Amino acid sequence: MTPKVGLLKTLLYIIALGLPLLVFIVPLPIADSYYHGWRLGVLAFVLYTIIGAGIFGSFLARNLSSETLLRSFATTSLVLLLLVVLLSLFFDWELPFALGFVLLWFGIFLFSLVDNSRIRIRGLMTFLIALAILCSFELTLSAIPERYLIDQVVVVPPLAERERSEALYEQKGFRGERPCTDCSEQAIRIFTMGGSSTYGIPLYYSTGTYSSVLGRMLEERRVGESFEVFNAGIAGHGIIQVLHSIEASIIEHKPDIISIMSWFNDSAPGPGWWGVHGKSDRDAYIQLRVLWTLQNWWLYQQIHSTRAYGLFRFYVLRSWEHLAPLLSSGKEEGKGHPTRISPKEFRWALEEVMKLGKEHDFLPVLILEPLHRTHPVEKMLEKNRYYQVIFDVSKKYNVPLVDTVTPMSKRQDQWLFYDFIHPNLDGHRLIAEELYDTLLTKSKVARDFLHSRGVNLDLPELKRHYHYQFESDKLAHSTLEFNIRAPYLAEFSTLLNFYVNGEIIGEPKTLSSKFQQFKLAIPEQALKTPIVDIAFEAGAVQTAGMEPYKLRDTDRYSPVHLEVKSGGKDYGWTVQVEANGKRLDPKTRGYNVVVLGGDSGKYLSSAAFDTFSSPEQSIKLIEYLESLSSFTENGEPPIVIIAVHTDGFHNVDSELLSQAVEKLGGSGKLPGPFESYALIGVPGAAPGTAIEELGPRLVELSVGSEEITRAKLLEVQEINF
Amino acid sequence: MTTSWRHPGAFGCMIGWYRDIASNFKPGAFTVAFLLLPFLTDYLLAPCLAQSDSERSVLLPVPTNLSNYQRPFDELSRLAQWRIMIHGLRDAPLDPRVWGIRVVDRSENRQLVPMRPFFLRASEQADFQLDKVLIDFKFRRVGKGMMHRRPDTYTPMIDIGFSGVYKKGAPGERALKDSSYLVRLSGSPLFDSGLFYSSHGKLAPIIVEEQLNLEAGDNYRVELLFDKNQLRLLLNNQELLVHSGKDFRTGLVSLTTDWHPAKIEKLHLTGSLSSTGESVVFEYSKAKQ
């Protein structure tokens, strides 16, 4: 019996338009719960509608000439649909439903290929149908719970890995210092960037890096001004990675000055930072930038996160990765780029940094990265093309250049490095001094820039301690002459001590705020050794009242001015212990403990206990605090300063630590999670008598007067040397 | 824990002592002990501890796990072998029980063996007197041209320091005192050999001796003989340097080599403790070698 055309038309219409509607509307919420199938669902529905309309039109155009085929197709479809519905009553229904749906549309696809010569838009229709099948396939996969799929299909790998230095900055911050949250907006932020020499490998303590030394120099010498210096060096970084890091991570910290010390890693043999064989760092970077941009596109992310693509990636692309080396000659694999980047590319990167500087209003400062036992800079310039580029770029863009090579070459016979490229403590100090001098003295560009940022360049250079070294032959027959003053002396007076070979010589001299001339003849008995170390510093400050120096109710006085700061994670995220303006804390997360002599106020010891990392640190902290109780300096117990950085709560044995703190005069209260805590106490003091503060805020303690500390700053004019 | 000062844990000792008294003595004795305790603590124990602190080591302590040194080098895993190799000079590991680095020079080793002075632990003792240093060594062979072009990497050099003084400064600050006499033996034409005085790293020549300039690749024996107020240097049994006028026997003794390795075949130091008259000998512990 031949079916009636009207009925058939109706059925086909239902199949072509109605089913997609039903199929996609019903499972959408379920598919979405597993995956983001709704977008594909909508897309597929639109496609199906177009396809269905096209097929329906073709049926009409052909006057149903393939009735038998259509009948069998429609029957199969109905049976399948029925089967799907029945199965879905007994099983996890969206899966068989979707499978049935795929079969259904595969049938339609076959039908469209059998006899559709009259369809003018055959190619487009085929494409749309294939796309629809793909969408159905994806929906099917989406319906499969994740646990049944292999990880490589479910987990979407990035097209290009995120640059790892971004993650490093995010996870670990900068070495030794975090941006403080309570600093004034006027604080000048200096970032030192480069590779391992800047990071300070293999220095165990961050306090020795040139970045830290520069920070301390600025703290000490630039009274009343605020600077923050961050070590943004990362081992292995070359100029291309520095360029990327500035754009991706540093700019957001609003840098004022960025110093860059890089060339050695750039001149190293390839493959470079990203390990791409046969490509320089610059080429690899440009390629990666395209990929990083591409993978951030919405459409790309949609396609890449589909499971269908996951299967394709796993079974096809991955296979190709295995296959490709077998098919290639093998020459490409071993072929590396001669250097990570060429001098020409190095110039390109430096110029990009210069452009960034103009765009984001920071001053780039270029530092010549020195080598162990380096030749003088003139000779190095002849043979080192990277140095030449650095010189050229600094001239072209009129940015400061820090010549570390000249002072290093003058000390060519000394141990300033740990190996051929990584400076040791003395090497770092030398770099820091040169950087400081360039910024504040030598470079007009840097001085103008700092002036524009509010730095008072008329201030004299001030130090607490001057250190000189001479050949003894010269000193034996000459007298050294200095003009010295302590410009901050007002109502106080201070004494000047001279040291030769570490021993005080002569009587202390009284200083004033006006320049006075001092003559120093080295006594014969001091000339025991070929070199004479000469040092001088402002000694004790004589002040009328000691009341500001009293340690609250402990009946003890501090011999020195103390400033203590503690900031929990959300309350400043910082730590600082200063005695007479000299920073002494280890700058480490957890409990920072500084011990000063009770008689002289001199630094005796410091220790850091990162209790956040492990409970063992808490035990060690308690042992350490307990051991202090039996220590004396000339019969006086020491002054113990405790300041918490980030957290002093987790992993802490609160009962034992409370007891240990009480023995220092503390109240026994300890900080809560990520809270601040600071204490200035004395072993043996009664509980609750020490200076102590804690809580969810930035904690700052002070003993004595900052004015008196300042009074010990010296300005020196060397006359006869 | 990172600390620049290690205390012997006196508080714990005191508590133990106090408990002993409490458990063994009768009440009367206990009362006497109780009264005596503050006196003992304040006037006897504390000054002793304070003194011991002032004389505390500037060197990193001996590692606690020395099991690698108890076994033949060849039987060790590669990691254990590497751990031995990194404690010392390049190509010349030193026994951590005998030689140590200063706390201030502490570094992360990673794959490189940093150049830094290794100090004879015994020389920290005030009554230690150095009598003799003998080293058989040779520098890895390298051409003079390379030494000129790349002094950063190809500088054959060994410094033998003695009569050293080191007083540490505040964290991050330079040392209060860091001086030493040293004999420098250089195979590089860029650097002189001889007797020098070093203060905070700065070198001043006392005697520059051309005959002490060495050839990389050749075997040498250097002997330093210390007598009261006299130092004699013998190279391959030939006396090349004599200096008088100072007693060099006390103070820190150190060894440093450059990035270009020096292979040490024999290292022999002898000294004595003036307080007891006891002689001490330090032989090179090469582990595998």
A582-583 vs B177-186, strand pairing mode: unpaired
B17 touches chain A (CB under 8 A): no
Nearest CA-CA partner of A18 in A64, A61, A81? A81
The Cα A497–Cα B123 span in angstroms is: 31
Q: What is the pLDDT of residue A557?
A: 87
Q: What is the pLDDT of residue A92?
A: 45
Taking an 8 Å cut-off on Cβ atoms, the answer to whether A413 and B107 are in contact is: no
A516 touches chain B (CB under 8 A): no
A310, burial (CB in 10 Å: exposed 0-12, middle 13-18, buried 19+): buried
Q: What is the pLDDT of residue A145?
A: 72
* Between B27 and A239, residue with greater pLDDT: A239
ipTM: 0.81
Q: Tokens 């990167």 sit at which residue?
A: A349
Interface test with A, best of B6, B7, B176 (most A CBs within 10 A): B7
Q: Which of A204, A469, A607 sits opposite B200 (nearest CB)?
A: A469
B42 touches chain A (CB under 8 A): yes
Query: What is the per-residue pLDDT across A660-674, written as a single tens digit (0 to 9) for each?
Result: 999 999 999 999 999
A373 touches chain B (CB under 8 A): yes
* Between A34 and B177, residue with greater pLDDT: B177
Taking an 8 Å cut-off on Cβ atoms, the answer to whether B115 and A419 are in contact is: yes
B289 touches chain A (CB under 8 A): no
A424 touches chain B (CB under 8 A): yes
The answer on pLDDT for A356 being more than 90 is yes
Taking an 8 Å cut-off on Cβ atoms, the answer to whether A529 and B199 are in contact is: yes
Q: Would you place residue A117 in the very low, low, confident or very high pLDDT band (cuts 50, 70, 90)?
A: very low
Query: What is the per-residue pLDDT across A171-205, written as a single tens digit (0 to 9) for each?
Result: 778 887 777 766 777 889 999 999 999 999 898 88
Q: Where are the alpha helices (DSSP H) in A411-531?
A: 425-437, 444-452, 472-476
In chain A, % of residues over pLDDT 90: 37
A496 touches chain B (CB under 8 A): no
The Cα A135–Cα A39 span in angstroms is: 10
A691-695 vs A676-681, strand pairing mode: antiparallel
The Cα B178–Cα B58 span in angstroms is: 11
Estimate to the nearest angstrom the gap between the alpha carbon of A508 and the chain centroid.
48
Q: What is the pLDDT of residue A62?
A: 54
Taking an 8 Å cut-off on Cβ atoms, the answer to whether A529 and B190 are in contact is: no
Query: Helix A122-143 to helix A94-114 angle, to the nearest 10 degrees?
Result: 170
Distance from CA of B80 to the nearest CA of A (A): 20
- Distance between first and last Cα of chain B: 35
Distance from CA of A660 to the nearest CA of B (A): 12
Integer CA distances (angstroms), A148 to A32, A37, A138, A423, in order: 17, 18, 15, 54
DSSP secondary structure of A381-399: HHH-HHHHHHHHHHHHTT-
Taking an 8 Å cut-off on Cβ atoms, the answer to whether B206 and A530 are in contact is: yes
Q: Compute the C-alpha angle B138/B139/B145, nearest 5°.
A: 145
Q: What is the pLDDT of residue B246?
A: 84
Query: What is the per-residue pLDDT across A375-433, written as a single tens digit (0 to 9) for each?
Result: 999 999 998 999 999 999 999 999 999 999 999 999 999 999 999 999 999 999 999 99
Q: Which of A533, A604, A630 sits opposite B5 (nearest CB)?
A: A604
The answer on pLDDT for A328 being more than 70 is no
A vs B, Cβ pairs < 8 A, gives 182
Nearest CA-CA partner of B13 in A604, A630, A663, A617? A630
Contact A535, A468 (CB under 8 A): yes
A416 touches chain B (CB under 8 A): yes
The Cα B153–Cα A695 span in angstroms is: 54
Query: How many Cα neighbours within 13 Å face the side chain of B59?
Result: 23
Which 8-state DSSP code applies to residue A686? P
* Between A266 and A330, residue with greater pLDDT: A266
* Between A67 and A265, residue with greater pLDDT: A265
Contacts of A287 (CB under 8 A, 6+ apart): A276, A279
Contacts of A681 (CB under 8 A, 6+ apart): A551, A554, A639, A640, A641, A642, A661, A664, A665, A666, A690, A691, A692
Cross-strand pairs, A516: A484
Question: Poorest-confidence range of A27-36, A91-100, A120-129?
Answer: A27-36
The Cα A495–Cα A481 span in angstroms is: 17
* Between A498 and A195, residue with greater pLDDT: A195
Distance from CA of B287 to the nearest CA of A (A): 24
Q: Which of A412, A584, A630 sits opposite B170 (nearest CB)?
A: A584
Query: What is the per-residue pLDDT across A448-468, written as a single tens digit (0 to 9) for each?
Result: 999 999 998 888 888 888 888
Distance from CA of B207 to the nearest CA of A (A): 11
Cross-strand pairs, A639: A596
Q: Which of B107, B192, B200 sits opposite A202 (nearest CB)?
A: B107
Interface test with B, best of A419, A497, A609 (most B CBs within 10 A): A419
Contact A65, A2 (CB under 8 A): no
A314 touches chain B (CB under 8 A): no
Which residues in chain B are contacts of A420 at CB distance < 8 A? Answer: 152-153, 259
Nearest CA-CA partner of A439 in A206, A210, A715? A210
CB atoms within 10 A of CB A655: 10
Q: What is the pLDDT of residue B262?
A: 92
What's the predicted TM-score (pTM) here? 0.75
With H, G, I as helix, E, B as strand and everything else as coil, classify residue B98. coil
B245 touches chain A (CB under 8 A): no
The residue in chain A having the minimum alpha-carbon distance to the alpha carbon of residue B49 is A631
Measured in degrees and rounded to the nearest 5, phi and psi for residue B243 equal -140, 135
Q: Would you place residue A93 in the very low, low, confident or very high pLDDT band (cuts 50, 70, 90)?
A: very low
Which 8-state DSSP code applies to residue A251? G
Virtual CA dihedral for A378, A379, A384, A387, nearest 10 degrees? -20
A710 touches chain B (CB under 8 A): no
Distance from CA of A483 to the nearest CA of B (A): 24
Which residues in chain A are contacts of B246 at CB distance < 8 A? Answer: 528
B46 touches chain A (CB under 8 A): yes
The answer on pLDDT for A133 being more than 70 is no
B14 touches chain A (CB under 8 A): yes
Q: What is the pLDDT of residue B45?
A: 40
The kind and range of the H/E element at B186 are strand B177-186
Q: Which of B4, B201, B259 sits opposite A605 (nearest CB)?
A: B4
Nearest CA-CA partner of B122 in B133, B111, B107? B133
Which residues in chain A are contacts of B199 at CB distance < 8 A? Answer: 469, 529, 531, 533
Tokens of B286: 């090469």
Contact A573, A209 (CB under 8 A): no
Average of per-residue pLDDT across A153-163: 80
Contacts of A80 (CB under 8 A, 6+ apart): A100, A103, A104, A107
Contact A304, A146 (CB under 8 A): no
Contacts of A690 (CB under 8 A, 6+ apart): A551, A552, A554, A664, A665, A666, A679, A680, A681, A682
Give the burial string for B5-34 (b: 16+ CB within 10 Å, else e). bbbeebbeebeeeeeebeeeeeeeeeeebe
Question: pLDDT in tens for each of the 289 residues of chain B?
Answer: 333 333 333 333 344 444 444 444 444 544 444 444 444 444 444 333 333 333 468 898 888 888 888 888 888 888 888 888 888 888 888 989 999 999 888 887 666 788 999 999 999 998 999 999 999 999 999 999 999 999 999 999 999 999 999 988 776 677 888 999 999 999 999 999 999 999 888 888 899 999 999 999 999 999 999 998 899 999 999 999 999 888 899 999 999 999 999 999 999 999 999 888 888 888 875 544 4
Measured in degrees and rounded to the nearest 5, phi and psi for residue A226 equal -120, 120
Distance from CA of B238 to the nearest CA of A (A): 26
Tell me the pLDDT of chain A averaged across its residues: 80
Estimate to the nearest angstrom the gap between the alpha carbon of A124 and the chain centroid.
51
CB proximity under 8 Å: B 251-270 to A: 256, 259
A359 touches chain B (CB under 8 A): no
The Cα A302–Cα A307 span in angstroms is: 10
Interface test with A, best of B11, B42, B105 (most A CBs within 10 A): B11
The kind and range of the H/E element at A468 are strand A465-471
Contact A585, A577 (CB under 8 A): yes
A503 touches chain B (CB under 8 A): no
Q: What is the pLDDT of residue A105?
A: 60
Question: Poorest-confidence range of A257-261, A297-301, A379-383, B223-227?
Answer: A297-301
The Cα B221–Cα B217 span in angstroms is: 13
Taking an 8 Å cut-off on Cβ atoms, the answer to whether A205 and B202 are in contact is: no
Which residues in chain B are contacts of A412 at CB distance < 8 A? Answer: 151, 190-191
Contact A381, A388 (CB under 8 A): yes
Tokens of B239: 């006396």
Cross-strand pairs, B136: B221, B266
* Between A577 and B37, residue with greater pLDDT: A577
Q: What is the pLDDT of residue A640?
A: 94
The Cα A175–Cα A198 span in angstroms is: 10
Contact B116, A418 (CB under 8 A): yes
Which residues in chain A are contacts of B192 at CB distance < 8 A? Answer: 413
Contact A267, A386 (CB under 8 A): yes
A693 touches chain B (CB under 8 A): no
CB proximity under 8 Å: B 162-181 to A: 167, 170-174, 176-177, 179
- Distance between first and last Cα of chain A: 123
Taking an 8 Å cut-off on Cβ atoms, the answer to whether A373 and B151 are in contact is: yes
Which residues in chain B are contacts of A534 at CB distance < 8 A? Answer: none
DSSP secondary structure of B244-269: ESS--SSSEEEEEE-SS-EEEEEEEE
The answer on pLDDT for A132 being more than 60 is yes
Which residues in chain A are contacts of B9 at CB distance < 8 A? Answer: 623, 627
A595 touches chain B (CB under 8 A): yes
CB proximity under 8 Å: A 209-228 to B: 212-213, 216
Give the burial string for A384-422 (b: 16+ CB within 10 Å, else e). bbbbbbbbebbeebebbbbbbbebbbebbbbbbbbbbbb
Q: What is the pLDDT of residue A539?
A: 77
Q: Tokens 């009598």 sit at which residue?
A: B131
